[in-house]
Structure formats: C-alpha cells, structure tokens
Amino acid sequence: MTDRRKPRAFTGRHMTAILVAFFAVVIAVNFTMARFAMSTFGGKVVENSYVASQHYNEWLRRAAAQDRLGWDESVGLDSARHVLLTVRKDGQPLAGLGVSATVNHPVGRTAPAALRFEPAAGGVLRSVEPLALGRWRLDLIVRHGPDEARYRKDVK
C-alpha cells in the first residue's frame, strides 16, 4: 500500500508569509549595509563644495607649476613604521628640503597629526614618529628654496 496524501493547497496565507519573509530579509540586509557604510566613511570630502569650486583653477595652476619642477617623490615605511621620504630631481636626491607633513586616517577615525622629519642616509628624510598599524593618508608640503610641491600619499 502506498501512502497517498492529498497535497495541501497553496493559500493566501502561504503567499503572505513568503512576501513578509522576503521583505524582512531585504530590509535587514539594507539596514546592516547602511550601518556598515555610515561607520566607515563620514561622507565629507570637502567642507564646502562651492568654496572649493572657486579655487579649482588656482589648484590647476599650482599642479602645472609643480609638474614643471620635475621632482620625483618616493614615500615608504621602514620596518619600525617610520615614514621615509626621498625627493629627486634628474635622478639625484634634493638636499636642504623643508617638509611639513600631516597624517590622518583616510576615513577620519583619528584627528590629523603633524609629522616631523630628520635627515637620514642617502638623501632620505625619516619621520621622527612611527605610524601606528593600519592605513594612513599622508599630506606633504615639500619646499626647496622658493619652490614648493604638495603630495598626498596613502601608506599602510
């Protein structure tokens, strides 16, 4: 003898349960993703986009002047996580550089901090303070006589 049960009918309650479960999952995923997004990126690129747009042409002029300097920068970390900076022109390290540097977390988890540099061997400048573990954004202003160049580098 075979057990032949009559299939249960698909009712409106079944459809309602499926729809409620589907949208509950979609809403839960959306809230979770929104929470992750808000906790990792503050969303602010500039303080005031209108004011930033007024400086755009000046920034382009400065970038062109910086390109004409012909400087090649190299930024890295040593084993103790000190920032190493080398600026070269025509393959030779530039001596007598003045450097201003600010380091901050790329998504704003820490306040920006100033870095100080001291000369090391081979025309390399080495930061006095080591960086904590993680990814950091380094904003550099390098001066050599009347010339100035600005660099933004990510280091990790």
The tens digit of pLDDT for each residue in 95-146 reads: 888 999 999 887 767 788 899 999 888 889 999 999 988 889 999 999 999 9
Give the chain's count of helices (H) and strands (E): 3, 9
Helix (H) or strand (E) holding 25: helix 12-40
CA distance 73 to 89: 9
Q: Please state the pTM of the whole predicted model.
A: 0.64
Rounded to the nearest 5°, which phi and psi values hold at 69?
A: -65, -30
- CA–CA separation, 130 and 139 (whole Å): 15
